[in-house]
Amino acid sequence: MQLNFIHNQSVASQSGQTWPVIDPSDGQTFDHIQRSNAHDIDMAVKSSRECFEGPWSQLNASERGRLLMALSRKVAEHAEELMRLEQRDCGKPTQQAMADAKALARYFEFYAGACDKFHGETIPYQNGYSVLTWREPHGVTGHVVPWNYPMQIFGRCVGGALAAGNVCVVKPAEDACLSLIRVAQLAAEVGFPPGAINIVTGLGHEVGDALAKHPGIDHISFTGSPTVGTLIQQAAAARHCPVTLELGGKSPQIIFADADLDAAIPVIINAIVQNSGQTCSAGSRVLIEKSIYEPLLARLGEAFSKLRVGPASADLNLGPLIRATQKMRVQGFLEEAKAAGIRTVAQGSVVSEAPETGFYQAPVLLRDVPVDHRVAQEEVFGPVLSAMCFEGEDQAIEMANATAFGLVAGVWTRDGGRQFRMAKRLRSGQVFINNYGAGGGVELPFGGVKSSGHGREKGFEALYGFTTLKTVAIQHG
Ligand code: NAD
């Protein structure tokens, strides 16, 4: 039985209710979390406020940095344990789960170093004045975390928030809490004061909603669906609370005829099959220049047909999807595509040892997908790649920008001028040239435009969002 972690103590919810934890690899319940309520959120917010006004405010920036560095080392020491927790909870293949544990340690390391290097400015003004700006923390920050990359998303939002001097109340997704409860315990072990990191588990419309509406929350960061992002922003707007939203994408990978296809093909495939396509920045559309459309589709199809899906611990190309309803969602998209006459080029296979009760979905490559079809417009959040054909830069840009989203875009071309032209014209928060994701570096600011959300996390840039600026003008004659 998993408990909430509030004020550095493991506590049961006041509701007395629990929620099952299901292993996506076999569909079986193996643990329970607390199904918390608004009372638990209130307790967590009060604890964090006490921390923010008490021991946390006593620490200077370099002391905060040392604590974050100690947590980074602790996470690295416990990487295997955290990997196993997240693997079972989320159905992640071993390599992916381990990469996520290492990324978490790296987030804390990066933000540990950033703490005492982030500062305000002095501004030249009229004679007789000295003007300076202070970067001040918001205070108690709320974090609603999704189930697809719990450790990584926790690292990027909580790491940045703490570095900037805030304290955190975290609501993990009900499907994926285990690793984050453990990380908060590790933080207490290395000396984070009670209330610096509180974890309250439960359902989104109950405890997530209570967090978003709590008057004691000074900033909210949310990663998840556009629908819930809208609810969070509405709740925050009612009390003018700043919000960072990361709401996913329908990201294009654009392949010109002069691209290095040998280098591009494995990247194109990884960008959609990583984490079984349950990635906000998944490269879910591949736009291919006409002269190489058929040959590249043939090569992609051949590679797709070799992809294997199986239990997380088997460490194959793909693990299961997070839950039964997610599998139904993906299959719904595929049925709609089939009904519209959209053809499948190839698909991978589910291995025979995969339990029938698990939530497995073979990766699918679709061709000639109309730009306006739902499968080319909406986030499937599963391993479905939509291929489309274009002629020339203008059409590539038109098609790439023709969704409501704008998170990430990839371009493959050897033409240097075209690389810059494309990067300038693509409407997205990140553009990758001759790669996709650049290895996910924690240093690289991340976030979207349009319905992909607003605000930036990761990198130094995140610290601006996690602080507010105070201008101090001193008249001294
Ligand atoms: P979701 O948006 O419902 O869940 C994300 C987080 O928000 C979870 O912690 C959840 O408990 C919480 N939440 C849900 N309802 C809430 C509410 N009313 N108030 C406050 N918090 C709330 O996502 P989902 O239902 O798990 O997945 C649905 C779709 O969302 C997916 O198929 C995918 O397209 C998208 N999604 C995107 C991301 C991403 O990284 N951008 C992550 C998860 C899901």
User: Is residue 299, in this structure, part of any structural domain at all?
Assistant: yes
Is 259 found in the same domain as 141? Answer: no
Residue 118, pLDDT score: 97
Structural domain includes residue 474? no
Any domain includes 453: no
Does ligand 1 have an atom closer than 6 angstroms to the CB of 38? no
| Whole-number pLDDT of residue 137 | 98
Cα 422 to middle of ligand 1, angstroms: 31
Please indicate whether residue 246 is annotated as part of the active site: yes
Spacing, Cα 453 to ligand 1 middle (Å):
13
Is residue 284 located within the same domain as residue 423? yes
Q: Exactly one of 168, 177, 241, 280 is catalytic; name it.
A: 280
Pairing of strands 18-23, 28-34: antiparallel
Quick one: three-class SS letters along 59-91?
A: CCHHHHHHHHHHHHHHHHHCHHHHHHHHHHHHC
**What's the angle, vertex CA 229, arms to CA 25 and CA 103, rounded to 5?**
50
Both 343 and 364 in one domain: the answer is yes
pLDDT of 210 reads 98
Q: In terms of domains, do 227 and 256 share one? A: no
Same-domain pairing of 121 and 43: yes
Order of strands across the sheet that contains 364-367? 343-347, 364-367, 384-390, 285-289, 252-255, 408-412, 430-433
- Residue 32 forms part of a structural domain: yes
- From 174, 175, 225, 274, the mutation candidate for ligand 1 (largest count of ligand atoms within 8 A of CB) is 225
Give pLDDT, residue 86. 98
| DSSP code for 351 | -
Contacts of 234 (CB under 8 A, 6+ apart): none
Cβ neighbors of 169 (< 8 A, separation 6 or more) are 41, 44, 45, 48, 140, 141, 142, 143, 198, 200, 211, 217
Q: Ligand 1 atom 43: the closest Cα is on which residue?
A: 224
Check if 292 has its Cβ closer than 6 Å to any atom of ligand 1: no
Q: 367: domain CATH number? A: 3.40.309.10
Catalytic residue among 109, 174, 206, 246: 246
Same domain, 160 and 261: no
Answer yes or no: is the C-beta of 330 below 6 A from any ligand 1 atom.
no
Is residue 45 within 8 Å of residue 169, measured between CB atoms?
Answer: yes
Shared domain check, 240 and 167: yes
Q: What is the largest CA-CA distance in the chain?
A: 82
Confirm whether 413 is domain-assigned: yes
- Pocket lining: 231 vs ligand 1, CB cutoff 6 Å: yes
| Residues 143, 108 share a domain | yes
What is the domain extent for residue 26?
Answer: 4-247
Q: Is the CB of 195 under 6 A from ligand 1?
A: no
| Domain co-membership, 38 together with 133 | yes
User: Which residue in 228, 279, 284 sits closest to 453, CA to CA?
Assistant: 228
Q: Are residues 204 and 310 in the same domain?
A: no
Going from the Cα of 70 to the center of ligand 1, the distance in angstroms, rounded, reads: 31
Domain boundary at 228, 247, 266, which?
247
CATH number at residue 60: 3.40.605.10
Per-residue pLDDT of the chain (477 residues; tens, 9 = 90+): 999 999 999 999 999 999 999 999 999 999 999 999 999 999 999 999 999 999 999 999 999 999 999 999 999 999 999 999 999 999 999 999 999 999 999 999 999 999 999 999 999 999 999 999 999 999 999 999 999 999 999 999 999 999 999 999 999 999 999 999 999 999 999 999 999 999 999 999 999 999 999 999 999 999 999 999 999 999 999 999 999 999 999 999 999 999 999 999 999 999 999 999 999 999 999 999 999 999 999 999 999 999 999 999 999 999 999 999 999 999 999 999 999 999 999 999 999 999 999 999 999 999 999 999 999 999 999 999 999 999 999 999 999 999 999 999 999 999 999 999 999 999 999 999 999 999 999 999 999 999 999 999 999 999 999 999 999 999 999
Cα angle 214, 215, 220 (rounded to 5 degrees) comes to 65
Q: How many domains does the chain have?
A: 2
Pocket lining: 453 vs ligand 1, CB cutoff 6 Å? no
Q: Is residue 419 part of a domain?
A: yes
- Regarding whether 128 and 51 lie in a shared domain, the answer is yes
Decide: 4 and 11 in contact? Cβ < 8 Å.
yes
Residue 472 lies in a domain: no
pLDDT given for residue 290 in this prediction: 98
Q: What per-residue confidence (pLDDT) applies to 198?
A: 98
DSSP 123-173: E--STTEEEEEEEEE-SEEEEE--SSSHHHHHHHHHHHHHHTT-EEEEE-B
The per-residue pLDDT for 306 is 98
Does the annotation mark 280 as catalytic?
A: yes
CA–CA distance, 91 with 72 (Å, rounded to integer): 24
Domain-ending residue, one of 225, 247, 269: 247
- Output the CA 100–ligand 1 centroid distance in Å: 19
Quick one: 371 and 278 in the same domain? Answer: yes
- Residue 333 lies inside a defined structural domain of this protein: yes
